[in-house]
């Protein structure tokens, strides 16, 4: 049985089970995270280990690109096909700067790799434009896949995540992580530490690095990952890491600063090994508390959402 199928059966609530011999009984009270929304699960058993506002629908920034990768691979289009870098049909809602030259060409596989490892927004856009039926068909396929996976609180409007209208929940993104793990290419590309993209017409190269610093660390066995950032979404990380032989999926949404979700990942690892996650820095804790107050205010006012707060944002998604 595929991981995604197994996970889909069990993914419904936090499970409290007796620990196996030698394992620590995990108490969610022992884990404090700086992310405003979070979910942690063991993909091997389907057991949800920790949740924090996991059903709150929020912008997910470039974590979106995991769904885009699934759609590209499900399409069956040739990965070795050279695709022309086309300009955007309309201006992106936020800063979508890219070093890629309009009119040049790159293979679909390489566009997918830099979309995943380096969060290249232009590459994600080009993949959607060259999808059978074009960009509208691509977005429709993203939402159809979400429905198929049981991601009922998710909605996608673009392939890159630059739009704050791309919204999901930590619980839904656990389902996406489980599904993405069934694709060897996604696992491979999201773990790539560095890559040289070789373009043609004209011929030039661009160097790319992975946006998840944990991929570069020998102390972490990362199986799959995707970072994301928009001002309205905060720093985000969706990742599967092997921790003491267990494939642990973690979704961390809306935290302060580039290193805060990495700190949360470290706290999760420590909690799994010892039952205690450790402390959160004062600035990160203050940010999280402020965000919780903002979410509470938004939920109490009809018609006000995170999408409304996104108007005029100009931060680069990374």
Angle formed by the axes of helices 134-148 and 121-129, nearest 10°: 100
The number of C-alpha atoms within 13 Å of 59 and in the hemisphere containing its C-beta is 29
Active site residues: 62, 65, 119
Q: pTM here? A: 0.90
Q: Which residues, other chains included, contact 4 with Cβ-Cβ below 8 Å and sequence gap of 6+?
A: 149, 175, 178, 179, 181, 182
Q: Which residues, other chains included, contact 6 with Cβ-Cβ below 8 Å and sequence gap of 6+?
A: 43, 46, 178
Fold of 3-309: Beta-lactamase (3.40.710)
In terms of DSSP bridges, do strands 58-59 and 37-42 run parallel, antiparallel, or are they unpaired?
Answer: unpaired
Peptide bond into 202 cis (omega under 30): yes
Domains of the chain: which residue ranges? 3-309
Per-residue confidence in pLDDT tens, the chain, 318 aa = 354 454 553 444 444 444 555 567 889 999 999 999 999 999 999 999 999 999 999 999 999 999 999 999 999 999 999 999 999 998 888 878 899 999 999 999 999 999 999 999 999 999 999 999 999 999 999 999 999 999 999 999 999 999 999 999 999 999 999 999 999 999 999 999 999 999 999 999 999 999 999 999 999 999 999 999 999 999 999 999 999 999 999 999 999 999 999 999 999 999 999 999 999 999 999 999 999 999 999 887 765 554 444 433 333 333
């Amino acid at each position: 049985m595929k991981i995604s199928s197994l996970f889909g059966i069990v993914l419904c609530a936090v499970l409290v089970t007796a620990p196996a011999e030698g394992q620590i009984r995990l108490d969610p009270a022992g884990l404090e995270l700086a992310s405003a929304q979070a979910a942690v699960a063991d993909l091997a058993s389907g057991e949800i280990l920790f949740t924090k506002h996991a059903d709150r629908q929020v912008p997910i920034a470039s974590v979106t690109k995991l769904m885009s990768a699934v759609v590209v691979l499900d399409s069956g289009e040739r990965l070795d096909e050279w695709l022309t870098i086309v300009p955007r049909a309309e201006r992106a809602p936020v800063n979508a700067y890219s070093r890629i030259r309009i009119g040049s060409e790159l293979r679909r596989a390489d566009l997918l790799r830099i979309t995943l490892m380096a969060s290249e927004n232009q590459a994600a856009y080009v993949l959607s434009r060259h999808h059978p039926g074009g960009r509208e068909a691509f977005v429709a396929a993203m939402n159809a896949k979400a429905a198929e996976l049981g991601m009922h609180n998710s909605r996608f409007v673009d392939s890159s995540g630059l739009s704050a209208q791309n919204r999901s929940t930590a619980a839904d993104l656990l389902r996406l992580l489980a599904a993405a793990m069934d694709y060897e290419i996604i696992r491979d590309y999201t773990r790539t530490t560095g890559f040289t993209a070789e373009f043609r017409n004209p011929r030039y190269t661009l160097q790319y690095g992975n946006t998840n610093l944990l991929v570069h660390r020998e102390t972490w066995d990362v199986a799959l990952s995707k970072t994301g950032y928009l001002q309205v979404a905060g720093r985000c990380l969706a990742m599967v890491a092997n921790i003491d032989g267990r494939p642990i999926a973690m979704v961390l949404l809306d935290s302060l600063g580039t290193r805060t979700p990495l700190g949360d990942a470290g706290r999760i690892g420590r909690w799994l090994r010892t039952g205690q996650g450790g402390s959160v820095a004062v600035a990160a804790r203050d940010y999280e508390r402020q965000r919780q107050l903002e979410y509470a205010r938004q939920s109490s006012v009809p018609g006000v959402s995170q999408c409304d707060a996104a108007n005029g944002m100009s931060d680069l998604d990374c």
